[in-house]
Amino acid sequence: MHFLPFKLRIVPRTLQFKQPAGTSRGIYYDRKVWYIVLTSTDPQIRFTGLGECAPLHDLSCDYDDNYEQRLREVCAEVERTQNLDSNKWRHLPSMLFGLQTAFRSAAGSLAGNYLKLYPSDFTQGKRGIPINGLVWMGSYEQMCQRMEEKLDKGFRCVKLKIGAIDFESELALIRQLRSRYSKEVVELRVDANGGFTPTDAPKRLEALAQYDIHSIEQPIRQGQWDEMAKLCANTPLPVALDEELIGVNDFEQKNALLDTIKPQYIVLKPSLHGAFTGAGEWMSLARDRGIGYWTTSALESNVGLNAIAQWCAAIDEHTTMPQGLGTGQLFVENFDNAPLHIEGDCMWYGSPQQRAFINEIEQYKDIWREPVPTVTVHTSGSTGQPKEMQVEKVRMWDSALTTLQALGLQEGNTALLCMPLRYIAGQMMVVRAMAGGLQLIPVAPTSHPYAHLHEAPDFAALTPMQVYETLKVPHERSLLRRTLCLIIGGGAISPDMANALHNFPHPIYSTYGMTETLSHIALRRINGPTADDAYTPLEGVEVSLSDEGTLCIYAPKVNAERLVTNDVAELLPGGRFRILGRRDNVVCSGGIKLQIEDIERRLMSLGVDFQITAVTDERLGEAITLLYEAETDMADTLDTQCRTLLGKYEVPRHYIRVEKLPRTETGKPARSEARRMAELRCH
């Protein structure tokens, strides 16, 4: 496996189990793993890969006291040759598993997400992987309690670890469970981990078979091929090989083992059974012989579990057989960034909200492909109720092409989509991706769209509120800083925000547009030496002023009509323009016209979230009112500041503390709702 120039780093970790994990081989309290970090050595190409080497000291064929040194030697050789030869390292399955995962992860990084290794319906959030619940060994009472917990969570298949307490007690537990839950309600699997002897195994399998057991894993210790073959030939319930496959890494040996033992099932554990290539060989040989199989993890952290789950989903996309993938979340201080969630009896990639958003995107693409000329969008509702509009697909496509050209976006660039698809901003990100071959990074709409990202997108479109919240968190701010092109729309950018972004290394633009113009028709650079306080129209866009001084837009590619806006504007040389405020956001107080946005701009240093609105006033007609979010009353303090920053007639007459400022779904101030709230409080 060749890759772009890279280097490797090894990070050892010791993971603590949340609760002791008992097997027939003993009790695990902690777990030693080694993470492999693969990074680019080319400053022009950024990627990161993460893999996990997670040998079990009493099972893995490649583990000994010199494991870490051997791993460092293998990584040094791979780094020296700049090539991963999977066949060369097949005798070191846990190391090969970590390296293969790191390389897959790096490829995912180049595509926008280093945690997405095997794209499938699973990683798109369209399908969950059915899994079994796992009940660890313990006392009779403990195992009963754990079983009830799994059933309460909705598992339809439960695996019991047996062999730690006496067999009669374990059999009594199984008898009790079957008396309460039929095989139609719950499928029972048992795992002896080699805990039976060849002598007592046949009798014990007969006893277990009375209770509709799906299968038993590794009833006797591995390495006893003839004894295991006899057991499989005469067993009253299916036998699955697990530990038996460990150390059998040669292809011909694999053939010989399966032909000799003839099991009913094999259990595939990539970190123990030859990494992904070796496990794939086992799978192929089993299929040829009509032997069933399923995949399980082997007490890896979420790094390894994430890789195994994705591999499992990609190679066996339509299986309904429960897999053994519930063991990666057993540790304290686990790798929490992996987007894996267990809901009911399925493992899912992404949260329910994230999956719903991904499905919404796919549904939108389906709508786009329908042979109808228009799609439905909604206005933002910043000055009233949102309105439904029909817009032409061909004009949306032309708008997308204009933006792609203006921003220099290229096929393969990653694009962050974190806007609701009801509105034009969200829909246009999807259309731009389709028109320009961009790779969408969908994030369910949130005020912190970078919170769970691990790589900076090439392109992002955010609201001022999203930028404001992102700048507060160091990790998110760092990713925002590395975003190659950022556009900010849907509201005014404060001087403080502009200052915070001024030294960011990549282009950042404020956009001007509306639903009727199919997103933006003009850009204003807000960082770097070319920062400007005026907008420059995109190619094919002309602007002018109405008799009332509001901006008029003629953009035939996106709207056949000349649009007269409510935005009060100032025209500048070269076709540029500056927005002064909205005509419908003018407050007439005592016969003096005051622009809400102008007042807000001059109050940006207040140090509190606020909005300016107005209420009816018997004497003044309308009275300027300031709504603010705070835990305590700050009216006097704010009044003092406002009198310093504003003119005599602009100072608010009322200061109203609110629990939450009204905003639209896209983050804009909800002006009509703000006025309603103020009127209720003042009258």
Neighbours of 396 (CB within 10 A): 25
pLDDT in tens, 651-676: 999 999 999 999 887 778 888 899 99
At 458, the amino acid letter reads D
Which residues, 6 or more positions from 584, have their beta carbon under 8 angstroms from its beta carbon?
Answer: 383, 566
At 521, the amino acid letter reads I
Among 551, 513, 540, residue whose Cα is nearest residue 401: 540
* pLDDT of 426 strictly over 90: yes
- Produce one character per residue of 501-521: b if its CB has 16 or more CB atoms within 10 Å, e if not: beebeebbbbbbbbbbbbbbb
- Classify residue 169 as left (phi > 0), alpha (psi -120 to 50) or beta: alpha
543 backbone dihedrals φ, ψ, rounded to 5°: -125, 155
CA distances 620 to 238, 592, 654, Å, are 87, 9, 13
Q: What is the largest CA-CA distance in the chain?
A: 102
pLDDT in tens, 447-476: 899 988 878 899 999 988 899 899 999 999
pLDDT value at residue 530: 92
CA 318 – CA 308 distance, rounded (Å) = 16
Token pair in block for residue 613: 């609105």
pLDDT value at residue 26: 63
User: Residue 524 — pLDDT band, cuts 50, 70, 90?
Assistant: very high
- The SS3 call for residue 400 is helix
Place of tokens 């392109």: 459
Higher pLDDT, 20 or 560: 560
Residue 35 has what DSSP assignment?
E
Token pair in block for residue 257: 């083992």
How much is the CA Rg of the chain, to the nearest whole Å? 32
Computed over every residue of the chain, the mean pLDDT equals 90
Residue 330 has what DSSP assignment?
-
At 61, the amino acid letter reads C
pLDDT value at residue 51: 96
Beta bridge partners of 612: 626
**Under a CB-based contact definition with an 8 Å cutoff, are residues 158 and 195 in contact?**
no
pLDDT in tens, 77-119: 999 999 999 999 999 999 999 999 999 999 998 887 888 999 9
CA 130 – CA 288 distance, rounded (Å) = 24
Instruction: Tell me which residues are annotated as active site.
Output: 161, 269
pLDDT in tens, 293-332: 999 998 898 899 999 999 999 998 778 899 998 765 677 7
Burial class (CB in 10 A: 0-12, 13-18, 19+), 42: exposed
Place of tokens 């103020």: 678
Among 577, 490, 568, 575, residue whose Cα is nearest residue 539: 575
What element of type H or E holds 68? Answer: helix 67-81
Which residues, 6 or more positions from 518, have their beta carbon under 8 angstroms from its beta carbon?
Answer: 391, 395, 396, 399, 424, 428, 558, 559
Q: What is the pTM for the complete model shown?
A: 0.70
CA distances 468 to 189, 449, 480, 498, Å, are 52, 11, 11, 10
Determine how β-strand 414-417 pairs with β-strand 374-378: unpaired
Among 152, 211, 209, 149, residue whose Cα is nearest residue 177: 211
CA 521 – CA 529 distance, rounded (Å) = 23
306 backbone dihedrals φ, ψ, rounded to 5°: -60, -45
User: Residue 431 — pLDDT band, cuts 50, 70, 90?
Assistant: very high
